[in-house]
Structure 1
């Protein structure tokens, strides 16, 4: 059973993820406007996994909830000391899934992308990732 660990930048928040297999995580890039703002870059990179596989082991993240621009509320958890974004989940998924920010993992190479969403919003200079699925939009 693979166990992944991660933290915020200042390490006031730490977490672990215990998966049956690394295939239980679905890592994807999202090019939507909301993710670009939240991540402060040209895409968001998260790994979707079952809620019960994620455990905060140190600290308590602060939660920010807001409409993602399409009428759906997205909850984002982050460190209120250093501001690092740890995870997110929409209202529809909150009882079942968490989307871990891949950059917060101690070994982000463990979960390479399997897909891209909102590809119509991909920066014109950014190449398409090969060997993954691509969607213009997503409903989740």
Structure 2
């Protein structure tokens, strides 16, 4: 199954060639790093097999930083606007729920972890 996406300004375009939507591990992260990076209550992360990703137009900007548990996280995005269609693959869980804002409800029907390694 081919998933196409890219950035809001349409400069960066990509394709994901996944045998199943389950091959993408989409998660919501409430760690301070994701909150700061997105300027919101959470970030949405996608862990996919690198071999399934193909950049079809433009170039991404890369940012490396702590993932909230001491590991290194690399983010790639359009340097001008960000990425579109974040709801094509639904999340499987929430990480760092100990940092979830009190007003933010728990996402139903997914796993919930206070830390990454729990």
Q: What TM-score do the two structures reach when normalised by structure 2? A: 0.88
Pairwise CA distance, 1:13: 0.7
1:23 Cα shift? 1.4
Q: What does residue 73 of structure 2 align with?
A: 74
Structure 1 residue runs of 4+, over 4 Å off? Answer: none
Structure 1 pair 37–10 and aligned structure 2 pair: CA distance change class (3 A)? same
> Could you tell me whether the CA contact under 8 Å between 2:15 and 2:56 is conserved in 1?
yes
Give how far 1:39 is off.
1.4
Q: For residues 1-140 of structure 1, what are the structure 2 equivalents within 5 Å? A: 2-80=1-79, 82-84=80-82, 86=83, 104-105=84-85, 108-139=86-117
What's the C-alpha RMSD, in Å, of the aligned pairs?
1.6
Give the 3 Å change call, closer, same or farther, for CA 47–69 of structure 1 in structure 2: closer
Distance verdict in 2 for CA 1:129–1:4, change over 3 Å: same
- What number of residue pairs does the alignment pair up? 117
Q: Which runs of 5+ in 1 are unaligned?
A: 87-103
Normalised by the length of structure 1, the TM-score is 0.76
Q: Any stretches of 5+ residues in structure 2 without a counterpart?
A: none
